[in-house]
Structures are given as C-alpha cells and as structure tokens.
Amino acid sequence: MDKEITQEVTSRKRRKAILVTVVGIVLFLGAIWLVRSFFKSSIRKAEITTATVEVGDIENTINASGEVIPEFEEIVTSPINASIKDAAIDAGNKVNAGQSILTLDKSATQTAFEKQKFQLESKCNEISKLKLDLDKSFYDIQSNNDIKQLKIGSLTDAVENAKRLYKAGGGTRESIEQAELNLKVAQLEKKQLENEIKSKQQTMRIEIQEAVIAAAIQQNDLDELQRKLNLANVVATRAGVVTYVNKNIGANIREGEMIARIADLNSFKVTGSISDNYLEQLHNNMPAIIRINDTQLRGHVTNVYPSVQNSIITFDIQLEERNNKQLRPNMKVDVFVVTATHSKVMRVANGAAFKGTSPQDIFVMNNGKAERRSIHTGLSNFDYIELIDGLKPGDVVITSDMSDYKNSKELTITP
C-alpha cells in the first residue's frame, strides 16, 4: 500500500516539473521577443519608402470598380420576320455609314407586299366605280327632274284649260278636279324622286368616304411594309465598329429581334459598380476619377440605377475626355468617387504606414534617424492622406509598413 502511494506522488511531481519547464521556456522566449522588439533600433534604408509632406488639395474617395463601354451604341433589330441569308461583316470590324452588314431573306414579306398592293389597287378601282355611279345618279336626277317639270307644266296648262271650259259652259266641275289631282300627283312624284336620289347620293358619298379611308389605311400599311423591306437590306446608319452580328446563316429571326450592334468608338463612358453600403453617399454630379494604369481621367456621375443586385449598385460616369486613346470597350478600370474635397492642406503620399485611424503613430526622418511621432489625419484617397497636425511641410515621413517597430521610439537608418 505504501509503495503505490509513493509512485503516484512521484508521477505528480514529474508532471508538475514538466509543466513548469514548458511555461518557463515560453516566458523566456516571449521576453526575448519583447526585448528585441523594444530595443530594435536600426533599419536599412532600402527596406523603407518615404514621402515629403507638402501643401495641396486632397479629395476623399470611395473605391469602386468600373467597365468602359461606348457612350453611343446602336442596336440593329430585324424589321421583319425572316431568316438570315448572308453576313457581310464580322464583329470587331469598322463599318461606314451605308455599308451592308446583313442580308435577310425577305421573300415572304415581298409576297405579302404584292398582295397588299393588289388589294389597294382593287380598293382604288372600287372608289372609281362609286364615283361613276354617283355621277350617273346626279345625271339621272337632272334628267328625271326635267321630265317631271315638263309634265307638271303640261298638267298646269290642263287645269287652266279645264277652268276656262267650265266658265264657258263647255266643261264640268269634275274635269277641273281631275286635272288638279293629276297635277298634284305629278308634283308629289317629282318630290319623291328628288328625295330618293338625294338619299342615294348621300349613301354613295358615305360609301366613297369609307372606301377612301380604307384605301388610305391600306396605303399606310403598304408604305410601312415597303419601309421594312428596304430595311431588310441591313446597313449601318453611322460609322463605327460592329460589336455583335448574328452570323447564323439560315436561322429564323422574329421582327424586333437584335441582329447586330454598332458602337461609336470615338466616345466612351464608364459603368461603375459599388457596394450598396455606399448608396446614401452616391448621387448624380459627384466627381469621379478613373485610373487606367498610370493615367487618370476625370468625370462625374450622371445616373445612379435604383435597382440593387447581389448587394451591388451600378452607376454611369460621363468622362471629360471621352475619346482618350487608352479607352477600349469592356476595359476594366478602377473608379474613385469623390465624396469631399479640401484645398491648401498638408498632405503626404498614402502608404501602408497609415492605418486609417486617428490619431496614429508614424516615423519622421531627422538627421539619419527615424523618430516616432503621433499625428492626426483627415481625408484620404488612393494617392494622398491629409495631415491635420504633428507635422509641417517639408517633413519626410516613412510611408511603408512599420508594424515591426511599434515599440521603438527611434530608429537608426543604415545604408
């Protein structure tokens, strides 16, 4: 029993000794690291980058991505239901105004055009016939009117003769009444004839008017079909570059379907994309900077699209120099949207030494040494950061990452 207790105590002491040893080693290594960090007092000049504090303007920007697209791009659509017969040019080639791009098979539309043309000719013939019938009815009413007028004149004389005979004792009262009745009947027949022909003429005029309107509609339809047939010979309406063309020979296409795109490569704009976290900061007419390699182009936001897709909002930028030679369709560029501007302030080239918080510590060059100094910063962008205090124009600061020397107050710069 005593032997078992002794072994347990011995094992416990051994584990404790090992634990103490490990903790001691860790503390020792940590102490060495702290001492080396605190007393590390030199750095090679080749390991750092520096910049001089100056006075100038600074713009606060938010970063976005962008794509260069033509400012003007014409979408060519099929004017008719047809099939592609031939493609005269490939995408990427330049095209002049009036130059052929595609040829469409327009035989079906041409047949429909000829049919409508025949129907229009038939309608015009119908109008001519109605006009002839109207002229004939007018001639008939004049002739019948003249005949009725002659008959009425004769019956009027008969009434007068009957009255004279009656006064002379050679006639009867019944003869007078019969003559007057015949006259009245003739007058009513004349009036009835005039009303019938007048009504017929009005009906025919309405029919002619309706036929003329129908013919005008058919003529408009025919003109529109003729226009579409002319457009079926697909040609460029302006000089530019063909960015897309449907070369599927024999493929059926519907009226209104896109068959080609022509871009004006003399004028570009930029479509930007940014997180919707910046939606409230983004608005029209905001200045923007476009960076292409080492070149910067200026512009301003012209349109912020209201829709949000995958937490991304898009916006358009109109460039001041829209025809810059470095601009290419679909080129990816860096976009910096300017949210604020300060003029005549201290600034220095931005770098890894600036962590974005204020105040912060940096190293300032002084007679071959780098001295730690606490400063306050303001606006910042890709190129510069604003310095509010702690420095003066002409000071040279280290802009590279100095995290390894955060516990050092002064460094010696070695060659």
What are 107-154's pLDDT values in tens digits?
777 777 778 788 878 888 887 887 787 777 777 777 777 777 778 778
Spatial distance between the Cα atoms of 396 and 401, rounded to a whole number of angstroms: 15
DSSP classification of residue 278: G
User: Phi-psi bin for 218: left (phi > 0), alpha (psi -120 to 50), beta?
Assistant: alpha
For residue range 200-221, what is the model confidence (pLDDT) as tens digits? 778 778 878 888 888 888 888 8
Q: 295 pairs with which residues across the strands?
A: 292
Q: Name the residue with higher pLDDT: 199 or 284.
A: 284
Q: 397 pairs with which residues across the strands?
A: 51, 364
pTM given for the model: 0.54
Give the per-residue pLDDT at 2: 45
Percentage above 70 pLDDT, the chain? 93
Q: What is the pLDDT confidence band of residue 388, given thresholds at 50, 70 and 90?
A: very high
Residue pair 167/202 in contact by the 8 Å Cβ criterion: no
Q: Which residues contact 174 (CB under 8 A, 6 or more apart)?
A: none
Q: What is the pLDDT confidence band of residue 243, given thresholds at 50, 70 and 90?
A: confident
Q: What is the pLDDT confidence band of residue 185, given thresholds at 50, 70 and 90?
A: confident
**Pairing between β-strand 312-319 and β-strand 332-349 as defined by DSSP bridges:** unpaired
pLDDT at residue 3 is higher than 50: no
Give the per-residue pLDDT at 269: 94
Helix, strand, coil share of the chain (percent; to 5)? 40, 35, 25
The long-range contacts involving 160-168, CB below 8 angstroms and separated by at least 24 positions, are none
H or E stretch at 112: helix 107-168
For residue range 14-64, what is the model confidence (pLDDT) as tens digits? 777 777 777 777 777 766 655 555 445 788 888 899 999 999 999 888 999
Spatial distance between the Cα atoms of 72 and 85, rounded to a whole number of angstroms: 28
Q: Which residues contact 60 (CB under 8 A, 6 or more apart)?
A: 338, 339, 340, 341, 379, 380, 381
Q: 29 pairs with which residues across the strands?
A: none
Spatial distance between the Cα atoms of 319 and 311, rounded to a whole number of angstroms: 26
For residue range 256-315, what is the model confidence (pLDDT) as tens digits? 888 888 888 888 999 999 999 998 889 999 999 999 988 899 999 999 998 899 999 999
Spatial distance between the Cα atoms of 58 and 339, rounded to a whole number of angstroms: 11
Q: Which residues contact 320 (CB under 8 A, 6 or more apart)?
A: 297, 298, 299
**Highest mean pLDDT, choosing among 207-216, 284-293, 348-357, 398-407:** 284-293
Closest CA to 149 of 194, 210, 113, 205: 194
**Pairing between β-strand 54-70 and β-strand 360-366 as defined by DSSP bridges:** unpaired
Residue pair 307/316 in contact by the 8 Å Cβ criterion: no
What is the residue whose two structure tokens read 């003399």?
266
Residue type, 257: E
pLDDT at residue 403 is higher than 70: yes
Q: Mean per-residue pLDDT for 242-247? A: 85
Q: 386 pairs with which residues across the strands?
A: 347
Q: 94 pairs with which residues across the strands?
A: 241
Q: How far is CA 299 from CA 97, 200, 274, in A?
A: 30, 74, 17
Residue pair 149/186 in contact by the 8 Å Cβ criterion: no
pLDDT at residue 316 is higher than 70: yes
What is the residue whose two structure tokens read 């900061």?
281
Q: Mean per-residue pLDDT for 378-400? A: 91
DSSP classification of residue 135: H
Residue pair 366/101 in contact by the 8 Å Cβ criterion: no
